[in-house]
Structure 1
């Protein structure tokens, strides 16, 4: 079905092109000059026939289900038929062909093009860009255009005379045509209303559309406004040059680009410049008219009106253009020429919601710069985004998606990226855009860094809570499964011994012996639980003494070779209990790893205290490549992180090295 529609579109478009080519060839055979071809509408209708038919065929080829392409193809055939009919009518008239045949050709000429202007074009504008009406409420407007289109066709097709002077008129001929002038004036107003409704529909669509839809609509809005500006004098002012009709082909070109390739050019820049010059032209014409009226009698008698007024107008317009350009640029590109304002908006969003204001920040940046898409990424994930961008949802956009990353760094370290979607037709960010983004990147990087720290803090709190609950579960299990049954057995044994002491002294003595053993076991379990909570050696010997004791116990490797473990610690101040436990656990775990996994003969445990408490364990074992992370290394790293410390471990040039440092809080 789609292939058949494409072949039909291509065939109809080719038919219109052949008609225009035939019109050009026949005009050349007749020896018509360009002015004669222009007066016979061969030039204007030929150009409109080519553009409408070609653009309609392209749209129908790529979007067969969109009626706009087929409406344009029909529009192009209508204009192309009129263009071919004019020189054909002249040929028949010169060769004195039968009058009936000449009248048939004149009828085709007069009745083919009005449907293009009165029906196909306004209806296509009303259906742009997806081939559907804006809403069911617009159905009466579409029906009105269709129902009243025959009035315009009758006005143009049933008029007296024809394109060729002396040639017979077409069918039908209305004798009282001139007396119906009020009806024809109403018909002209009907055309303006139809196009006005179409433009109103486009404006409403623009306000409701997404970024992609707005890019499409800007193309057509610009072309439609230009065409309407040229066509209004043609409809209402007699003597308007025929060449104004060449503004109409802008519409199919804009529609084809909008539907098929809306990203071809930066339409915002085009509209910006067009609006600027339009406003400037209006100001210039108004100023010229006022100055002519005021200075006509004074200046023209002395200096000559044209030269004087032109100079004065030029002097007045010179400072106006930059102001107009700034106003239009702000409407199309936002506040990119005012970086301080954009930075202020970002600051307001961050101060209003410092904890979770990133979505508001990216929305403020996108709105302030009129960008299609803005996002902030950190750690390979999208933190916040605003706008619409073609691509796979949930994935980081790539450069193929017309996105430019702007690095965000804090303290010389990259913390993320600001992903900026390019406007339609842009291949990169302009200097003005980069200046604004460079300014807002500074507070944005601070916010991303703070957000990341907040997330890490929350994750750390969650780990601490989980570790605490896991420790409580372990203690409960040990008490329930170990110490609980032992104490229960002690109680039962004591009761049994008490009952037998007067009856069976020997058996009571045995039970007391068992009771003594169970009690010692319970005491050992209690001691083990207490030791797991805090090593008793820390309270008995202090940190340095406890570490020296542990170092003495780790003097032999698993293969029987001896290890000389030295402890170096001078001038350590009193440390908080949590810091003492962390330092003890990390140091003893590091020394245990030396004995178990390295072939070192000498290990040194050094504790140094300045602004930080530093623990370093080094050995002279041979290098074995990069260390594989295990449970011990992970436990040491987590202990350091819990107290805000730093941890690093791995091979060095002289052997293995484990280092941890903790900040000291001084009063």
Structure 2
């Protein structure tokens, strides 16, 4: 451990000990002088003491493990503020009991009244805005933080300005405002300001939740649950007179949830907690509503002597009992997806089958609210969605053969997949295995097609070489021999003229055969590829395209550096696509320049761009269709169309790593 880390942890321990000591001294003294539970509750000693301990100790935990996160230090400051209030109140009471001067008593009363409002008005909302990373959501939220800091003194003034002593028998504080009651609208604004600050924090947390990954969402769920509960309890206390002070004990849920979320968010599956909490919360609301309605009806129909309340309670219990399973199912669907509705999950997966295996994997993870899902075929991950953690592999079988594995991430707080999850996954595994098998067959078919085309082109190259180097020269030699014989025959023999005619016909037939052989050779494979290579052949073709169809000049450049030796099929496809694209530029565009670029890495990419003006969408013709088919034959991709800067044709072919020439 470095010296700085040791110093920080020493400071954390010192501050946490100071908070505990403050609370212990205050509570110990008040108990020693005979204060009871009601006196301590009414003087806010219980609420301030508990909030001091939770904020201080939770802040210490965060600052100990995450010292760079300011939330821990804000919570420590919050804890000190809450702890100082009961300690100062206890000192004021001690001075009063000892007969000390009123001025000294008023000093500690003022400190007691001014210490805790900073915790609620400043430290807590600022920490919520920074949760969980310790940084604001974006630069735009800087103004929200500035507003919280700038307006926090208003709440402090409201609390201190009343001057009311923290307990009976103590004098008023020094900062009491004489016209406090006439400023009631200002104090209402201070209460509204606190509510707005907390609501801003909740909005920020909600936005973070929508943008977060699986880990971030689990962290945020802890705080969102605690914040909602705290607001539901604290809001009536701020605006409804007579609300019990103990509702403020909901506030300590916030530092506890923050500490768990930042340090040990994976301790428990928060979605399970929320599921149960929402179930019982909604059930309680339903029970209260039904009870209130029935009581109102019985008030008008049944005499009070019948024992109305007991009957209503029993009746409500009978109504609520069958509602619980249905309510639990609704909440579970919101948090765990459709795992209790396998048919719905299968339907969602079936809808994605046509979109490909990545869409199916994403649909499975989304439907079951899983943190991670991946599909592995032949040792290769072909589709993945989510953030990996603890993973359970599920076998995918077709016809008794294992065709792949579906890796499912385990939810945080769970040791494995539940029986409900396994049942749903077993159902969707069947169509997924069929899809994997079909995809594998399609890949094998495409591979066979590519091999067939490559073999065809290699055979064409061999035939062209044999015809060009073997049969071609032989026929040419026959033609030359016929010419020589014709030149040697004299006109004297009686059949000389007939021999000359036959030789003339032989020469003509031989030259026709030579022409046919040359055309056949050219059809088998572009001769320029063997004579100049792919790059040289394309440059030759580009040089021949100097004029557009309307007679205007056009400059065509070829860029292809470090191109490796390519298979015959790929050479032909690249040449045909590039020359067809250039031909289309010359014929149909009004470009003044065009660039043909060939790039080779893991893929061979052919790109033809021009600076022609946009003239609407391109309508597929024979040329575009032929280029698309050539790309598809070798497992490549093809796209073409207008862009803001001109036309674009791009084809890409998968290519194993090759050495450059």
Deviation at 1:500, TM superposition (A): 10
Q: What do residues 97-148 of structure 1 show as CA deviations (whole Å, max 9, x unaligned)?
A: 2333222211211111011011111122122222333344434433332222
Mapped contact 2:163–2:175 kept (Cα < 8 A): no
- The CA distance in 2 between the partners of 1:20 and 1:429, in whole Å, is 45
Mapped contact 1:408–1:442 kept (Cα < 8 A): yes
Which of 473, 486, 493 in structure 1 is aligned with 2:461? 473
2:173 matches 1:156: no
Which of 60, 71, 75 in structure 2 is aligned with 1:72? 75
Q: Report the TM-score when normalising by structure 1.
A: 0.68
User: Which residue number in structure 1 is paired with residue 426 of structure 2?
Assistant: 438
Which of 135, 149, 171 in structure 2 is aligned with 1:146? 149
> Mean alpha-carbon deviation: is it higher for 126-135 or for 341-350?
126-135
Alpha carbons of structure 1 residues 495 and 430: separation in structure 2 relative to 1, 3 Å: same
- The CA distance in 2 between the partners of 1:31 and 1:39, in whole Å, is 15
User: Which residue number in structure 2 is paired with residue 381 of structure 1?
Assistant: 380
> Mean alpha-carbon deviation: is it higher for 453-462 or for 237-246?
237-246
Aligned length: 487
Alpha carbons of structure 1 residues 14 and 497: separation in structure 2 relative to 1, 3 Å: farther
- 5+ residue gaps, structure 2, are 491-661
Which of 311, 320, 343 in structure 2 is aligned with 1:317? 320
Mapped contact 1:372–1:423 kept (Cα < 8 A): yes
Q: Report the TM-score when normalising by structure 2.
A: 0.69
Deviation at 1:490, TM superposition (A): 8.2
User: Which residue number in structure 1 is paired with residue 94 of structure 2?
Assistant: 91
Which of 451, 476, 480 in structure 1 is aligned with 2:439? 451
Counterpart secondary structure, 1:132: coil
Counterpart secondary structure, 2:243: coil
User: Which residue number in structure 2 is paired with residue 123 of structure 1?
Assistant: 126
Q: What do residues 488-512 of structure 1 show as CA deviations (whole Å, max 9, x unaligned)?
A: 788889999999999xxxxxxxxxx
1:41-52 pair list within 5 angstroms: 41-52=44-55
Alpha carbons of structure 1 residues 486 and 4: separation in structure 2 relative to 1, 3 Å: farther
- The CA distance in 2 between the partners of 1:30 and 1:87, in whole Å, is 10
User: Which residue number in structure 2 is paired with residue 22 of structure 1?
Assistant: 25
Which of 188, 209, 213 in structure 1 is aligned with 2:212? 209
Counterpart secondary structure, 1:407: strand
1:393-432 pair list within 5 angstroms: 401-432=389-420
Deviation at 1:241, TM superposition (A): 2.5
Mapped contact 1:408–1:418 kept (Cα < 8 A): yes
Q: What do residues 297-319 of structure 1 show as CA deviations (whole Å, max 9, x unaligned)?
A: 43343421210111122122223
Mapped contact 1:211–1:372 kept (Cα < 8 A): yes
Mapped contact 1:123–1:142 kept (Cα < 8 A): yes
User: Which residue number in structure 1 is paired with residue 550 of structure 2?
Assistant: none
Mapped contact 2:126–2:148 kept (Cα < 8 A): yes
- 5+ residue gaps, structure 1, are 391-400, 503-667
- The CA distance in 2 between the partners of 1:150 and 1:179, in whole Å, is 19
Counterpart secondary structure, 1:419: strand
User: Which residue number in structure 2 is paired with residue 619 of structure 1?
Assistant: none
Mapped contact 2:13–2:60 kept (Cα < 8 A): yes
Counterpart secondary structure, 1:262: helix
> Mean alpha-carbon deviation: is it higher for 414-423 or for 20-29?
20-29
User: Which residue number in structure 2 is paired with residue 460 of structure 1?
Assistant: 448
User: Which residue number in structure 1 is paired with residue 545 of structure 2?
Assistant: none
Alignment RMSD, CA only? 2.6
Mapped contact 2:397–2:404 kept (Cα < 8 A): yes
Q: What do residues 478-536 of structure 1 show as CA deviations (whole Å, max 9, x unaligned)?
A: 5556676777788889999999999xxxxxxxxxxxxxxxxxxxxxxxxxxxxxxxxxx
Counterpart secondary structure, 2:397: strand
- The CA distance in 1 between the partners of 2:458 and 2:147, in whole Å, is 76
Mapped contact 1:268–1:424 kept (Cα < 8 A): no
